Amino acid sequence: MEQGSPSRLPRPRAALSSVVAATLQVRPGEGRRVALLFLQLLLASAVFVLGRTVRDTLFLSRYPIKYLPWMFVLYGLTSAATVVVYARFADRVARHRMIAVTTAVGITTYTATWGLVRAGQTWIYPAFYVWAEVVANLFIVQFWTLANDLFDARAAKRLFGTVGSARVLGVVLVGLAAGAVVEIIGTAQLLFVLAALMAGIAVCAHLISREQHAPAGERSGAQPRSARKFMSASGT
């Protein structure tokens, strides 16, 4: 065997990376951005799904199911007001900073909710039911706005399917883990888990802000169909 032949053999790690990149359609220089976006959407999806579990459990522990239609009405009104206020600032503040503000508000209100639940304040249950839905959907909207800034339309079409699969993984992981975690720490303590997930979202957004952005005129302006379906589920 020639001495130089071993060097021509592909290294297992390099070969695996090539296969993964080809399967996920990730090109050189895109891996870090895609990985960070995947992680942020995974965390945002976990907040969305786990938040619904917590809000439903807390609300139905104090109020009968017949009041749920009123919660949907209140959510619609609150969501509309949030959109109006958010639209005034969304394009004036850097994406990652706006996400940081949202996570700070989310962490503060979720930890305050825990304290009010412990204090026996019954009004917090319907208030949190509405607020949790607003916050969770806002994280999803902010994520796709940030993602659209990183890629042009062609790259977005190629990569957003891979990135969007994080929502499916988030649903699966929360579904598998939520029941076991509740048995260990209880439902109310999941508010701290949600706060930690939000902190992770802020960290991901900060790291993503350092990545190269697509030119303003070439950025993707549309969200993938899976994202629209995911967000539209909030109205059910």
Residue 52, classified by CB atoms within 10 Å of its CB into exposed (0-12), middle (13-18) or buried (19+), is: middle
Pairwise CA distance, residues 224 & 23, whole Å: 19
Q: Does domain 39-235 have CATH number 1.20.1250.20?
A: yes
pLDDT (tens digit, 9 = 90+) per residue, 146-171? 888 888 788 888 888 889 999 999 99
Q: Report the Cα 130 to chain-centroid distance in Å.
A: 18
Q: What is the dihedral of CA 112, 114, 120, 121, to 10 degrees?
A: 40
pTM listed for this prediction: 0.80
178: pLDDT strictly greater than 60: yes
Token look-up 């050189």 returns 28
Helices (H), 11-123: 12-24, 31-60, 68-89, 95-118
Asked if residue 7 lies in contact with residue 145, where contact means CB atoms within 8 angstroms, the answer is no
- What band does 58 get if pLDDT is binned at 50, 70 and 90? very high
